[in-house]
């Protein structure tokens, strides 16, 4: 469908008093992203960022900071005097900035995050086909009580008779099932012509956008409604409990999509999987796993419970044992991690390599088939293939002033509990004796020792006991 004539306004100025939160309502997170970012993502399927206008107010700076990278416009609504007022502010924005007024305006709520691109497309299409001045997105919840209701001229007729608030419903209108979602399309000229005619002479002293429907109808303009397929799409989150419900629903949908594509996910409702995550077929995800951000996992992997993988790329056939934490790491095919490996950013683990328990890596390359299996800290290191890093061996990359690099050649053996004091290079096939502190480069094939010779004092324990008793 051609939506080039559409601009989009996103209502993101509200406070969300019922949340009991200092944060702006639209910055609360579900599915790993702020509510607003979900709405912007949906909006971007209809129009490019330079035709999207975020109307901000409460915590405007924070909202702007979070969303600025999307490239949308921000329009400041300094006082919050209702949805009608928000569009009055937008109208002024166009006249002040000289930015081009779009022919049609899609109005979204920044706190209604599950709206689907398909629904927006259908709505915009319908709006154009029907030559409407205003198109209202409706939905049919299990219990409509409390919601503003949309009355059609007759059942099935696209044309709307009125939008009526719960308290104003006549007795025979109480059963009206269709509710107003607060999502609209407008023919912009008709909308803008009527904005100044809105009144704030009501209980809350606000300008209501819903009143536009009556004004347009009075002018003989066409006001129509289209129903969303799923009630979830138009649900706002007014309490934290409601948001948490949306979050769980969104993530379960992601897990189900992956299962349908051949991924085995035990206890799918317990996993936390962001919507962008990709997982190959025949990979098994155990309960309580979290796959976050821009993560890609290959085929035939097994990700064991309590592991959290964020912004990382995992090759085929990788085994991630329990409790691993990965952030911005790359793991080659058939590597084995964990349990309790912690891979921090720029950890590049080679094919068939092993990273074991209580091992932390940061900014390292670990070559093909190399092993660092026990209680290591490896930071700022380039480690070749076939290297064995013994238990407790540590790279000292920080001297209190600068960070330095450790280089270890292919096939080297780094003895247990040794300390590699960077900058230092260990050559191919070199051998570091256990317990050594290494401060100087070690040539290929050499042995390096840096530990004291043992002294033994027979009978010492008995004599100490005598002294201390």
What 3-state DSSP class applies to 399? coil
- Is 374 in the active site? yes
Q: Which of residues 151 and 249 has its CB atom nearest to its own copies in the complex?
A: 249
Q: Which of residues 19 and 75 has its CB atom nearest to its own copies in the complex?
A: 19
Residue closest to 314 by CA, chosen among 339, 274, 265, 347: 347
The answer to whether the CB of 25 falls within 8 A of the CB of 14 is yes
**DSSP structural state of residue 288:** T
Least CB distance to its own copies at residue 329 (A): 14
Peptide bond before residue 99 is cis, with ω within 30 degrees of 0: no
**Which residue of 79, 462, 466, 467 would you call a contact of its own copies, by CB under 8 A?**
462
Rounded to whole angstroms, the Cα distance separating 26 from 64 reads 11
Q: Does 429 bind its own copies (CB under 8 A)?
A: yes
Q: Interaction with its own copies in 226-245: which residues (CB under 8 A)?
A: 239-241, 243-244
**Which residue of 259, 276, 311, 351 would you call a contact of its own copies, by CB under 8 A?**
259
For 7, 305, 336, 375, the CA distances from 340, given in Å and listed in that order, are: 49, 11, 12, 10
Binding segment for its own copies (CB under 8 A), chosen from 33-41, 72-80, 211-219, 253-261, is 253-261
Q: Interaction with its own copies in 290-349: which residues (CB under 8 A)?
A: 290, 299-300, 304-306, 308, 321-323, 325, 339-340, 342
- 330: β partners: 313, 348
Binding segment for its own copies (CB under 8 A), chosen from 169-177, 230-238, 311-319, 414-422, is 414-422
Q: Does 184 bind its own copies (CB under 8 A)?
A: no
Rounded to whole angstroms, the Cα distance separating 87 from 404 reads 56
Q: Interaction with its own copies in 263-292: which residues (CB under 8 A)?
A: 263-268, 270, 272, 281-282, 284, 287-288, 290
Residue partners of 363: CB distance under 8 A and separation at least 6? 344, 345, 346, 347, 379, 380, 381
**DSSP structural state of residue 228:** -
Q: Does 449 bind its own copies (CB under 8 A)?
A: yes
Q: Interaction with its own copies in 22-51: which residues (CB under 8 A)?
A: 22-23, 28-29
**Which residue of 46, 60, 191, 396 would you call a contact of its own copies, by CB under 8 A?**
396
Count interface residues toward its own copies (CB under 8 A).
102
Q: Does 466 bind its own copies (CB under 8 A)?
A: no
Q: Which of residues 158 and 293 has its CB atom nearest to its own copies in the complex?
A: 293
Q: Interaction with its own copies in 202-231: which residues (CB under 8 A)?
A: none
> For 320-362, what is the HEC assignment?
ECCCCEEECEEECCCCEECCCEEECCCEEECCCCEEEECEEEE
Rounded to whole angstroms, the Cα distance separating 175 from 162 reads 15
| Catalytic residue of the set 58, 131, 374, 404 | 374
Q: Which of residues 190 and 407 has its CB atom nearest to its own copies in the complex?
A: 407
Which positions are annotated as active-site residues? 374
């Amino acid at each position: 469908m051609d939506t080039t004539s559409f601009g989009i306004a996103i209502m993101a100025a509200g406070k969300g008093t019922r949340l009991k939160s200092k944060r702006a309502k639209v910055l609360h997170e579900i599915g790993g992203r702020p509510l607003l970012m979900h709405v912007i993502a949906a909006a971007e399927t209809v129009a490019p960022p330079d035709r999207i206008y975020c109307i901000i107010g409460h915590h405007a700076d924070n909202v702007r900071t979070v969303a600025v990278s999307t490239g949308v416009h921000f329009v400041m609504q300094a006082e919050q005097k209702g949805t009608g007022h928000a569009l009055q502010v937008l109208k002024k924005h166009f006249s002040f900035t000289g930015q081009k007024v779009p022919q049609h305006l899609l109005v979204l709520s920044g706190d209604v995050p599950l709206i689907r691109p398909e629904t927006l497309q259908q709505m915009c299409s319908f709006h154009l086909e029907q030559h409407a001045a205003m198109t209202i997105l409706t939905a049919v919840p299990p219990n409509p009580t409390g919601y503003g209701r949309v009355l059609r001229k007759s059942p099935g007729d696209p044309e709307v008779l009125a939008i009526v608030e719960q308290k104003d419903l006549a007795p025979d209108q109480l059963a009206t099932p269709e509710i107003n979602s607060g999502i609209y399309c407008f023919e912009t000229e008709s909308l803008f012509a009527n904005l100044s005619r809105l009144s704030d002479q009501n209980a809350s002293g606000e300008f209501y956008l819903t009143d536009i429907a009556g004004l347009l109808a009075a002018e003989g303009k066409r006001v129509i409604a289209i129903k969303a397929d799923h009630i979830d799409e138009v649900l706002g989150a007014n309490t934290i409990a409601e948001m948490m419900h949306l979050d769980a629903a969104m993530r379960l949908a992601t897990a189900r999509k992956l299962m349908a594509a051949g991924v085995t996910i035990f206890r799918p409702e317990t996993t936390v999987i962001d919507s962008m995550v990709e997982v190959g077929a025949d990979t098994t995800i155990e309960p309580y796993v979290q796959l976050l951000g821009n993560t890609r996992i290959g085929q035939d992997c097994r990700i064991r419970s309590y592991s959290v993988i964020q912004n990382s790329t995992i090759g085929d056939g990788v085994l991630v044992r329990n409790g691993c934490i990965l952030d911005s790491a790359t793991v080659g095919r058939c590597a084995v991690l964990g349990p309790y490996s912690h891979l921090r950013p720029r950890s590049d683990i080679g094919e068939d390599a092993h990273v074991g328990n209580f091992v932390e890596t940061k900014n390292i390359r670990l070559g093909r088939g190399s092993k660092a299996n026990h209680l290591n800290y490896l930071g700022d290191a380039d480690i070749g293939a076939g290297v064995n890093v013994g238990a407790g061996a540590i790279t000292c990359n920080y001297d209190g002033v600068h960070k330095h690099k450790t280089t270890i050649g292919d096939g080297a053996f780094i003895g247990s509990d040794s300390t590699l004091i960077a900058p230092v290079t260990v050559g191919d096939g070199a051998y570091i004796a256990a317990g050594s502190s290494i401060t100087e480069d070690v040539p290929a094939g050499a042995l390096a020792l840096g530990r004291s010779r043992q002294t033994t004092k027979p009978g010492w324990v008995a004599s100490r006991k005598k002294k201390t008793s």
